[in-house]
């Protein structure tokens, strides 16, 4: 299933991104006014070099748009965000990630999230489980499962329900959701985090819930979604309670909630 290949791809992309992160770099803007840096493009190129060795097609935030008439033929494909958390990258807080997921029949079955500044590597494989590794010098251990810690590792304190939220995005609806959690659970503990790390913190057991009542795209969530599901969490649509679906006609996600 190419797991070692995509682990290596994420780490190598992270190395390339960090080399730009630590130097001066320019910032451009896409048509929707969202920022893009040279690091996004470098990460995209490195990942593609690896994924092009596989039999599966690639859908990437930084790649060309693939029409639905082509995508609908894909039973399995890679869904990639080479640099999730560009705002965190620009703000230099280290909370950005490299995300690679394998989607099968609309479901994320393998997910890799690499945090190159912190050298944290999260892995989720359907039917096998999820792990977190803390790497040295961006090196993947030969027996990475034994070197990693099985998720979840830290169960939240039952006396303090923990909510994780975005550093860069908040909405009135999210505030109302949290207010309702306070009525149910009493005093809450809050964690702020960027990028797909928020999903990983729930998978890890450091947070109980992550409500995302704001726009995201499929490539923003797929890798973290696979990790969370593999760690025994639920990643569900806010309105219906059904799991998130991938390779939809519109690649915009509905609002969703990640919970233990």
**Closest alpha carbon to 231 in 119, 77, 113:** 113
Instruction: Mention every residue, 6+ apart, whose C-beta is less than 8 A from residue 213.
Output: 171, 173, 174, 177, 238, 255
Q: Per DSSP, what are the bridge partners of residue 115?
A: 120
Q: Kindly list the strands in the beta sheet with 149-150, ordered across the sheet, starting from the edge strand earlier in the chain.
A: 58-60, 76-84, 97-104, 107-115, 120-125, 129-134, 149-150
Residue ranges of the annotated binding site are: 61, 81, 83-86, 220
Q: Are 228 and 124 in contact (CB under 8 A)?
A: yes
Q: Are 113 and 125 in contact (CB under 8 A)?
A: no
Residue ranges of the annotated binding site for Mg(2+) are: 61, 81, 83-84, 220
Residue-by-residue DSSP string for 121-146:
EEEEETTTEEEEEE-BTTB--TTHHH
- Spell out the long-range contacts of 62-65 with Cβ–Cβ below 8 A and sequence spacing 24 or more: 62/36
The verdict on whether omega for the bond into residue 137 sits within 30 degrees of 0, i.e. cis, is no
Residue ranges of the annotated binding site for substrate are: 61, 83-86, 220
Q: Are strands 188-193 and 161-166 parallel, antiparallel or unpaired?
A: parallel
């Amino acid at each position: 299933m190419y797991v070692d290949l995509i682990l290596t791809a994420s780490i190598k992309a992270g190395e390339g991104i960090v080399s730009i992160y630590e130097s001066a770099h320019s910032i451009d803007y896409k048509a929707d006014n969202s920022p893009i840096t040279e690091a996004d493009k470098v990460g995209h190129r490195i990942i593609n070099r690896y994924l092009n060795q596989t039999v599966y097609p690639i859908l990437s935030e930084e790649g060309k748009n693939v029409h639905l008439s082509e995508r609908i033929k894909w039973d399995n494909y890679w869904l990639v965000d080479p640099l999730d958390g560009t705002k965190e990258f620009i703000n230099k807080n280290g909370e950005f990630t490299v995300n690679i997921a394998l989607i099968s029949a609309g479901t994320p079955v393998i997910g890799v999230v690499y945090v190159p500044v912190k050298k944290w590597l999260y892995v989720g494989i359907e039917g096998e489980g999820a792990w977190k590794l803390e790497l040295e010098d961006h090196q993947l251990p030969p027996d990475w499962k034994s070197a990693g810690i099985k998720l979840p590792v830290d169960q939240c304190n039952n006396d303090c329900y923990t909510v994780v939220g975005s550093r860069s995005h908040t909405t009135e609806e999210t505030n109302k959701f949290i207010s309702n959690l306070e009525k149910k659970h009493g005093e809450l503990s809050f964690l702020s985090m960027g990028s797909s790390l928020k999903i990983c913190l729930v998978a890890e057991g450091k947070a109980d819930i992550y409500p995302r009542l704001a726009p995201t795209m499929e490539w923003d969530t797929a890798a973290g979604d696979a990790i969370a599901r593999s760690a025994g969490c639920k990643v569900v649509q806010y309105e219906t309670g059904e799991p998130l679906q991938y390779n939809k006609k519109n690649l915009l996600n509905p609002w969703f909630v990640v919970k233990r």
